[in-house]
Amino acid sequence: MPTPVSSSRPRVALAGTSGFIGAALCEALGDRFDLRILTRSLTRTAPRAQDEVRSCDHFSRLELARALEGVDYAVYLVHNRDPSARLDQAQSRDMDLLVADNFAWAAARNGVRQILCRAPLLAASERPTGRDAREREEVLASRGVPLTVLRTGLVVGPGGELARLLVQMVQSLPRIPLPHLATNEIRPLSLEALLRAFQHCVGRAETFGGSFDVFGPEPTSLRRMLEDTADLLGRPVHFAPWGDLSQGAFAALLKRLNPSLHPVFVTYLLDMFSAESHGEANPVQQAVTRDWTPLKQCLGRSLQQSLRAVEGEATGPQRALDDETLRQLGRVRSIQRLRLPQGRNAEWVAERYFPWLGALMKLFVATERDADGSWTVRMRLTRLRLLRLDFKPTHSTPDRRMYFITGGALARMLGGRTARLEFRDLLGGRFTLVAIHDFNPALPWFFYRYTQAAMHGLVMKGFQGHMEQAAEGGPML
């Protein structure tokens, strides 16, 4: 890691730079700011010699707080699509919430003056993409640091998944079935225009706390983009309009065409075309689209890199190294969302969870509480200690309850990061997230995956149902 040098320039931290937008943003902001790149990768190097790279666990508040020391502005582009452990028992949206809250907390603790993020430009905010984005924004703004949101539609640029998918559809399908949404018009944004939007907003006080629609001047549709792609590739393209083709069936077709497509991206893509959102003019949008590059030209710049990815270069050596590191570490992460009854908090949930677990599995398991709030889980008949969970009052508040996993027959203690169980309230106390981080199972991996891990998933499903009953005011176990 390069040693930071003294500088009078403001320092910007960037989280989420493994994607094509984040990587390009490092170059775009480097002329005006000192950059600190926050990464979960243990092998990531700086894109430029003068940039500082901080490897930190985004699921750890304290590591993020140390990483944001001395930072003036922070750009948050994190989306938890890639694995964070050898086994992730969690939905991407819940992982996003937990990391966003850690980031907002760390930024507030260090006096960061502005957080910037990108969100989807959607008129129909009830769609999954819009709902999840609203939750992230609420969490990022919840700690008091001014949040600037740039709302965009699809972004076209080298390295993006969109261009790669268009190439695959044109090259692989002799006749492309198109649902009704393929003719809906949207206004995509070029990557260079999005970079100008970030350059315009970072450190600009009049954008603090604002939300700005940023979109291109050219309307287009999925069908037109496929036609442009075919023209640029010099290939014929044939369509089979299929008005009754459901969004789910079309998503399944795209996944079959490219199994590496993340479900979150597929949902995002189809939500964009379904919503037909065009955005509202504003000073930021007008400033960044004055020197507009025609959309077809932007698409053409993306195709060469996309063609290489289609031929097998989509997963780079960095991702492969990270995946192998996670496999060797053999850790588990589990995150579940619980709906809270009114007036309750994480402390209340934690104190209910262990007795509920003991009652659920009373023929096999006993749960015992110490005077200091720690818990031990034992086999009922043999008294074998399965797990020891030490309560950590210094890491806990009424809306956050933390336990370190310090022993037991089911846990493998290897040193390094401490395995922990956490209960945390988010979204104004409407939900509690129950999370296990950095857990190393003692069982052989294959056996663990299909026994203990499967049982944990079932238990947490049961506790979600239990809390749902409590939130509805119904009878509880």
Give span(s): CATH 3.40.50.720, the chain. 11-321
Quote the CATH superfamily of domain 331-472.
Answer: START domain (3.30.530.20)
User: Are the CB atoms for 437 and 422 separated by under 8 Å?
Assistant: yes
Q: Strands, DSSP E only, in 174-327?
A: 176-178, 189-190, 211-214, 239-241
Centre a 10 Å sphere on the Cβ of residue 46 and count the other Cβ atoms it contains.
16
DSSP 419: P
> Would you state the structure tokens that stand for residue 346, as one six-digit string?
């994480």
Give span(s): CATH 3.30.530.20, the chain. 331-472
User: Are the CB atoms for 140 and 76 separated by under 8 Å?
Assistant: yes
Opening angle at CA 73, ends 68 and 76, nearest 5:
75
pLDDT tens digit at each of 477 positions of the chain:
444 555 689 999 999 998 899 989 999 999 999 999 999 876 666 666 678 999 999 999 999 999 999 999 999 999 887 888 999 999 999 999 999 999 999 999 999 999 999 999 986 666 788 889 999 999 999 999 999 999 998 999 988 889 889 999 999 999 999 999 999 999 999 999 999 999 999 999 999 999 999 999 999 999 999 999 999 999 999 999 888 889 899 999 999 988 888 888 998 899 889 877 778 889 998 888 888 888 899 999 888 776 665 554 445 667 778 888 888 889 999 999 999 999 999 999 999 999 999 999 999 999 999 999 999 999 999 999 999 999 999 999 999 999 999 999 999 998 778 999 999 999 999 999 999 999 999 999 999 999 999 999 999 999 999 999 988 876 554
Please state, in angstroms and rounded to a whole number, the distance separating the CA atoms of residues 336 and 338. 7
Q: Find, among 420, 400, 392, the residue nearest to 347 by Cα.
A: 400
> Would you state the structure tokens that stand for residue 253, as one six-digit string?
């077709």
Residues 6+ apart with CB under 8 A from 149: 116, 117, 118, 119, 137, 210, 211, 212
Fold (topology level) of 11-321: Rossmann fold (3.40.50)
Opening angle at CA 207, ends 155 and 144, nearest 5:
105
Please state, in angstroms and rounded to a whole number, the distance separating the CA atoms of residues 82 and 262. 9
